[in-house]
Every structure is written in C-alpha cells, then in structure tokens.
Structure 1
C-alpha cells in the first residue's frame, strides 16, 4: 500500500464533498426523517476525482472520505433540531450565525469525544464495525484496476435527479400515492412515496430494519389510527384529513415515548461495556506506533473554541450569563455522554443505525424539565434554549459515531489517526458553513412541517417537528402524556421481545428505535423504505457493498437530494413551482411508478447477470 500524506488536494476535495453530501443529507433528513452514512459514496467519489487528478492512493482516498462523511454526519444534527426553532416561531427566519456556531461547536465536541474513545473502541475485537469495514474494502478498490463503481454511482445520481426534476419541477406525477376510506365505520389509510431516495434508504438499512420501520408504521396507521378514529367522525367525513390529524396530534407521541425509552435503554445497556473498556485501557498503554492523536495544545484550542462559541450562542438566547453557562455545561456533559453511546453503537451496528434522535429526545425532555424549574413555566426563550442544547448534543453525537467508524476504516488501512482527525475537522468546518444557506434555501422554497395552503410542498421534517412539540409541550404543560406513556409501554414490550431473542441466541433482533421511527413517520415514507429493503434483499445488496445495488442506492439518495436543492434555488430565484395538479389527474402516479421501475431495472438486470 502506498505511503500516506495529508495533501492539499485531499483536504480540498474532502471539503467540497463535505458540503455536497452534507447538503444532500440535509434534504433527505428533512424529507424522510432519516439520514444514512455517506462513507461509501464519499469513498467512491473521492476515488474517481483523485484518479482524474493523476492517482488515487488508498490512504489519500480514505482522508477524502473521512472529511466528506464528517460534513454529511453534521447534517443530521442540524436538520433534526434547528427547523424546530422555526416551527415554534422562536425564529422568524434561520439565524445563520447561531446555526453555524452551534453546529461547529457541537461537531468539534464530537471529534474531541471520539479521540479518547478511539483506542477503547477501534481496537475492541468484539465490535464488528460493519460500515467501517465495508468502507475500508471500498477504499482498497482505489489500488485495484479501474472498476465500474463510479459509473454505477453516477448513473444512479443522474437518474434520480431526472426523476426529481420531472416530478418536482415539471409535475408529471405526484410525490406519493395516498388513499383513505371508511369501511363499516372503520377508517383506513395507506400510501407509498414515489421516491428513489427512499428506495435507496431501504437498500442501505436492509430488509430487517426496513421491515421493522414499516411494522412501526402499521402499528400506528393500521391499528392506532383506526381505533382512535372510530366514533370521531361519521363515515362521510374526510378520512385522509382525519388520519393526518390523529397521527400528528396523538400517534406520533407514541413514537416519542418509544424513542425515549429506547434512548435510555441504550444508555443502560452500554454503561457496563464502556466502563469495562475504560478500566482495561488504564492498564493497556499503547506504544504510539499508530502515529497518535492530535497534540494536546490543538485539542485545548478546539475545546475553547467549541465551548466558547456555544456559550455565546446560549447567551444570545437566554440573555443571562448564569443560565448561558448552565446550558453550556449541560450541553458539554450530555454531548460527551451521548458521544460515547453513539460511538459504541457505530461500532456495533454502524453509524446509519445510530440512535441519535432518541438521545436528542432524551436531552430535550430532561433539559426542558430542568429549565422549567429554574426559569418558570412561561419563561421567554425556554423552548428555544432547550432546542439549542439539543442541537449541540445531536451534532456532537452524530459526529462522534461517524468519526469512530472512519477511524476504524483508517486502522484497517494503516492510516495515521491525527491525519484523519485533521480531515474530520476540515469536514466539520465545511459542513457547518453550508448548513445555514441550505436551510434558508429550503425553508424559503418549501417550508418545514405540515402541508398547508401556504406551503403545499412543505418538507415534513418529522424529527424537528417532534423536537418542537416536546420543547414547547414541557413549558406549556400540554404534552399528551397518555400517548407518551403508551409509547413507553410499547417500547418496553419491544425491548423485552428483543432481549428474549438475544437470550435464545437468535440471529434476528428487534431494535426498539427502528419500530419507533416507523410509528412517527408518515406511512407513505415507511412503505417506500420497505420497498427499498425488499429490493435490496432481492439483489443481495448487503452481501456486496461494492456491487451495483448499494452504489446505485447512494446515487439515488444523492441525486434526488441535490435536485431538490436545485429546484429550491430555482423557486427562490423567481422560478415557478411544480404543478399542484399533474396533467394526468389522479392516475398520474402510474407514470411515477414506471419511472421508478426504469431506475431499478439496471440493478435487477445486473443481479440476474451475476446469478447466470
């Protein structure tokens, strides 16, 4: 393997891809409430770009993907929380300074937390690091003869971008097929989103996780909503409007309860292994042959920058130096705690399966209850302050999990930790600078939250909607605690089932957070994710990370997201929006189905060719 160097071109390419993939993941999270790891597509893109510039040594490709995936991970922390400030009307528009400072500060905290955890987790043979190992295998392709990886990723991206332009720009078909009806006094609703990006998400998370997400959706939409709707309206009432209302005001809080118990359970489960690792590290001193971490003075400067920026941003919200310091302390402690959990989960399941949203929900609820005691029920800025704490913690946890995964890939490739950590800092800085412009653009073009007359194409932003409802609900005292407690009960039942399966040594597990995600997602999104999981199972995508399945899926996610951002820029600059009523009428969704099949056909054909 060629020698490693921290070149200017690797940092520049990493920064550019961090902004590109960060913007794409921001769009995906606002649309679907889920994000996926960009390590593999970043490695493929970095490989292709470096080859065009004269050569692609594996370790240099790894530095590019490390920086790029750090920018992408930051997007999760931003879009899960900051749009909530608009939803509660604390912000009339995105505050770019506060967003950038908190995103950067939280991201730097995540990097700082991952440094002491590196030798604890990366060298732990019990942690499989599935995505880290897959990334290392893809990076090794850079030193092999020319492959079709880049072609598959670009073909998927261009196809998905064209699909999005025809759907969201020209308006040839709607974004989803939806239907609802009354049957003998019972109401039922269903649908499926027409989205290459959601198919790609399903391929990435796999059939098991996709199936569990859909199972959660069926619990909410197939059982919960019909039970709640019975007797609410006579059969001639509007079933689709009622279904959405029941989901937004009651059902999704069951998901909140399940997410809360899932996040707390993750903490309890990980206390013992993390403590054991830390105790073992006290007697295991590395000889430093791996090149070591960044020097202490650099880490000290990072800590001062992160905590100082977060304290100033908090002061701008609460106006009290004492409370600003308290918020910063809460953020730092929760950030390091949840960064440790996120890092361990990345080693266990991969960063795409990290329970970052569950940790953020726990942070927001506990912080809101604490600040309510200190500031009063009607305290001005209380909900906004809590959301900013949650945003910083979410950014830190997302970065820590992604960084540990990349450090594992680097360890397998013989990379130097401090060089990767430098690339991570470059990625975080690049990602934090692009997040505010992207959110401003999407908010002006589409809006966030429920669809209404003023925002007919609003991005659902389901995670941010939950955070907003929790923060304001604690201060206003109007949270539907009965639904939250029901969700806690459902989550506890799922945890019991999962533990029974674990004790029996079964290969199949039931992660509570996957079920909880499905409960609070609109059913058309979880159905599309399930279809992607089925497609991945058919083509065997999980067994071949370098194959056309996952690479096309990465292209679908990136292409649709970037096309959505481009359409937003078109609208904001004065262009017309997509037609609200496609020219083909209600049957126009058939054209979308045909277009989706055209996108997936090359993947199915390649699978048949492999089988032959």
Structure 2
C-alpha cells in the first residue's frame, strides 16, 4: 500500500503549483521592497485547504502536501532577493544574465533538498525541535478543516490591498509617502503608505516590532541626529556608523545562533560518533543482518546524492565560472549551513539565510581568487539552500504533527522548489528590467536591505569599529535570549519603514484591545470561541493585505516591462 495515496494528488499538485507561482512572485517583491520576508506557510495552508474543499472532499494530509508545494518557492525567492541585488547595488548596472541567476537558484534548491532529506529524522524526530511556524501551520489546517468564512475574509482583504496598490503605484492617485516633507538631515522620515508593511508589523508580533523600532530610534536619532548635533561626526559619517552597527548586530546574531544552537549539538554528535558502538543483541536473523533489498536502496540513495552533489559542483564550475576549490567549499559548507538554518528555525523561528551566505562568501574570498560578482553567486547558492531548508523543516514539522507521509512532502518541496526557482528568477529579471539597477538599495525603490548588507561586506565596511561593536553586542544579546536580529534590522533600515511597521504593530494592539473589551460582555465559553475567531480574522485579514499588495506590485512591474517593450 502506498502511504502517500490521497496525499500527493494531481489536483493538489495543480493547486500547489499555481499558488507557488503567485506566492513566490509576491515573496520576491516583498523581500526586495520591505527588507524582510514573513513566513508564507500559514497563508499557503489556508489557501490550500480552501481550494481543496471547494473542489470536494479532502483530508488534512492532502492539504498539508499541497501547502508544502505552495510555500516552497517563497524562501527560494528570499535567498535570491537577499543576495543577488547586491551586484546591482555595487555596479549600478545589470551585469547578471537570467541563466546565471537560474543556476544559482537551482543549485541552492538541489543542495537544500538533499541536505534536508538527510537531516529530517534528526531534527524532527530525534531532537524534536519546536518549529513554531510549522506547528502553527498544522494547527491552522486542523482549525480550518471545520470550515467558516476564511476564504471570504482572505480574498476580500487581498482585493482591497490590490486595488489600493494599483491606485498608488499604477494610477498615481494615492501618495506613496505621508509626512515625507518633514526634513531631518540624514533621516528618511515619513510613513510609507503601504498596506503590506502595516501587515508585516501586525503579523510579526508587538514585542519584536517594538525592538525593531527601538533600533530605528537608536540608529537614526541617537547616532545620526544626536551624534552630529553634538559635533562628534558629520551626518554622512553618522550614516556610515549606523549602517555598520546594524550589519554587525545582524551578523553577531548569526554567530550567536552558531554558538548557542549549533556547536553544542555538533560536539555531541562528534562524541556520539566516536564512541564505541554497543554490541548487537542476538534477536532474529532479520534484525542482525540487514535485508539485501534495503542495502540496495541505500546504495541507490547514496549514489543519487553523490551524483546530485557532483552535478551542482560542475554547475558552479562551468556555469558560474567558480574555480574547483571555491565550488568544493560551497558544496561542503552547504551541509553545515543548512543544518545551522534547520536548527535556528527549529528553536527560534528565524532563518538568517543571508548571514549564512555571507559567512561562506567570506570563507571563499579568503581561500580562493574569486571575482566580486561570483562572490554574490556563492552567497546566493547558500542563502537559497538555507532558506529552502527552513521551509522544508517547518513543513516536515507540520507533517509530523498531522501524520503526513514525509516522502510525499519532500516530493512536493522538490516540485515547488524548482518551480519557485524559475518564477523567482523571472521576477528579479523583470524588476531590474523595469526599474533599472539604480532602483535597488536602501535609498531606492527596492530597499533590498539584506543584499545591501552583503554588498557592503564585499566592498568594504564604512566603520570597522562600529561593525565590531555591533558584532560583539549582537552575539552577546542573542546568547542572553534577546531579539537582536530585530534590533539590528531597525538600526539598518530607513526610518520610514520602521515607523510604518511600528504603526502596524500598534494597530494590532488596538485590535486586540477592542476585541477583548467586546468579549468581556460574553459568557466564558462563548468568549473563548470568539477569541479564536477574532485571532483568525486578524491573521487572515493581515495576510491578505500583505499578499494583495505583493501580487499587484509584481503585476505592475510586468506591465511596465511590457509597455517598455511595446508589447
């Protein structure tokens, strides 16, 4: 009997692929525009269940595999968007061919799939890490299986955000920035008129966004305005110090992830591997001697893994013009970094994929003579692999909770990952063609914050002392359990983005307060049910706002290219 029967279905693949294309395109746009990428897994789970139920009877396993396909491409898009635009930021020219981006994306997808297939049992079953996003996706499917008005709420909010975005970006009837006329030297002050960024603040969590906003206050008004006002430095120097401090804090958080979450486990695995094996218990011959068929399957699996890894190494050598040493470093460290990503996502819900890509980039730069553009390709391959690993492990956790067949999920991830690579490359190519290379960077149309970090590290750090302080402080604060990644993001990003996200978080505070006041008048049992309904409404509506602006933003870019080409 096939355990995946009724789980990986033709209609599920079709729905998953359509959703994957849309979510991947939206995620690429979100990552470039916002400098962040919220996990799309819960959004994909709601969509998958809604459409499958609309087509007739379904089960949670089919919905889970379908949403696995649907969400796979988002982190592939994130891996590309967090690294490749760094080339355009530095060169101010579109020097990257679409097929080079495709090689980067597919190489990362293959490495991510291989590594997570090997690591799944350890992280999901043996270590039993929390994977909060994956567990939330499982609970969303369980709750959504009872029906309700989820679809109307979701698509209603998506439509509103999409219309609003079209009026702003296509027809120019709504200003993109509020309070933008307020002039503060060195500070990009204002409120970005974006449903998507408000939704990000609503979804991320009030405490995290407050830390994000505190970082923005420190960087912009503490260092830039305060320091220049006291005569410690000029405005330009203050901006360089702020950028370096923010980058250092984010990288310090990545080092903290390694020290706190990865090294202890790695040391434990090394000790376990070096220990003498326990003698086999004399049970049945089947237990004492491994069946020949299983040995044959293991040999085929090992051969397939070796062939896939060798193919990636050849792609890196001949397709991206990396020398053999650099290619070997990328392939070998992909195993380490995907394990780091899986561990980080499992314990914190955070996947600092661009930090892992940057670490490997610096190692390759130190060990091999690689051109600057190729260094971004290295970071892109690793970031895609780590991003996909985080998504795969979240989906595996949801499957573990629901009892879904992991083989069906892995096949779904492979389908979605490859499709996501194609779509993400197309979106990046369209955006750079429509807006030009100058549109990417912290002062451009697409802030591309993580790519800016990678670009700055490649071309030099504005203030090495500030970077070192951020690095040490970021690592120490992470080890103390503080959300330093959000703090560093706030220091680094333009102030208007942080302020708008903060307003979204305050909207969440207001929404929760109003809902609580309304529930206070109800009996206890009814109040409990109403609380769940109100929480789902907030989640679905915010997800719809985020998705609506993202999708329309990509469509506007496609329309711009079509008009430019006279199509």
Deviations 1:271-307 (A, max 9, x none): 113544687799899x9xxx9xx97635743553454
Please give the secondary structure, in 2, of the residue aligned with 1:491: helix
What residue ranges of structure 2 are gaps of 5+ in the alignment? Answer: 281-286, 288-293, 516-530
**Alignment CA distance shift 1:431-1:398 (3 Å):** same
Q: Distance in 2 between matches of 1:168 and 1:530?
A: 23
Residues 94 and 432 in structure 2, CA contact (< 8 A), matched pair in contact too: no
Residues 448 and 458 in structure 1, CA contact (< 8 A), matched pair in contact too: no
How far residue 86 of structure 1 moved from its aligned partner, in angstroms, is: 2.4
**Alignment CA distance shift 1:103-1:187 (3 Å):** closer
Q: Distance in 2 between matches of 1:196 and 1:23?
A: 17
Q: State the match for 2:518 in structure 1.
A: none
Q: State the match for 2:386 in structure 1.
A: 397
Q: How does 1:486-525 map to 2 (within 5 A)?
A: 486-492=469-475, 494-495=477-478, 499=480, 509-525=481-497
**Residue 246 of structure 2 is aligned to residue 255 of structure 1:** yes
Q: TM-score, normalised by structure 1?
A: 0.78
Q: Distance in 2 between matches of 1:90 and 1:451?
A: 9
Q: 3-12 vs 127-136, which deviates more?
A: 3-12
**Alignment CA distance shift 1:296-1:66 (3 Å):** farther
Q: State the match for 1:33 in structure 2.
A: 35
Deviations 1:514-569 (A, max 9, x none): 2111111111111222222233344459x859701111121111110111111111
Aligned-pair Cα RMSD in Å = 3.4
Q: Distance in 2 between matches of 1:456 and 1:260?
A: 22
Q: State the match for 2:415 in structure 1.
A: 426
Residues 2 and 58 in structure 1, CA contact (< 8 A), matched pair in contact too: no
Q: Distance in 2 between matches of 1:307 and 1:91?
A: 32
**Residue 341 of structure 2 is aligned to residue 301 of structure 1:** no
Q: Distance in 2 between matches of 1:85 and 1:427?
A: 26
Q: Distance in 1 between matches of 2:231 and 2:319?
A: 45
Match of 2:58 among 56, 59, 73: 56
Q: 400-409 vs 103-112, which deviates more?
A: 103-112
Deviations 1:184-217 (A, max 9, x none): xx97663222211112212222111111111211
How far residue 458 of structure 1 moved from its aligned partner, in angstroms, is: 2.4
**Alignment CA distance shift 1:427-1:149 (3 Å):** same
Deviations 1:257-279 (A, max 9, x none): 11222211211112113544687
**Alignment CA distance shift 1:569-1:152 (3 Å):** same
Q: State the match for 2:366 in structure 1.
A: 369
**Alignment CA distance shift 1:481-1:544 (3 Å):** farther
**Residue 499 of structure 2 is aligned to residue 527 of structure 1:** yes
Q: 40-49 vs 266-275, which deviates more?
A: 266-275
Residues 123 and 129 in structure 2, CA contact (< 8 A), matched pair in contact too: yes
Residues 180 and 188 in structure 1, CA contact (< 8 A), matched pair in contact too: no
Residues 448 and 460 in structure 1, CA contact (< 8 A), matched pair in contact too: no
Q: State the match for 2:103 in structure 1.
A: 101
Q: How does 1:235-384 map to 2 (within 5 A)?
A: 249-270=240-261, 271-276=263-268, 297=300, 300-301=303-304, 304-305=307-308, 307-318=310-321, 324-350=323-349, 353-371=350-368, 375=369, 382-384=371-373
**Alignment CA distance shift 1:278-1:52 (3 Å):** farther
Q: State the match for 1:571 in structure 2.
A: 560
Please give the secondary structure, in 2, of the residue aligned with 1:441: helix
Residues 129 and 408 in structure 1, CA contact (< 8 A), matched pair in contact too: yes
**Alignment CA distance shift 1:272-1:489 (3 Å):** closer
What residue ranges of structure 1 are gaps of 5+ in the alignment? Answer: 235-241, 376-380, 500-508, 577-612
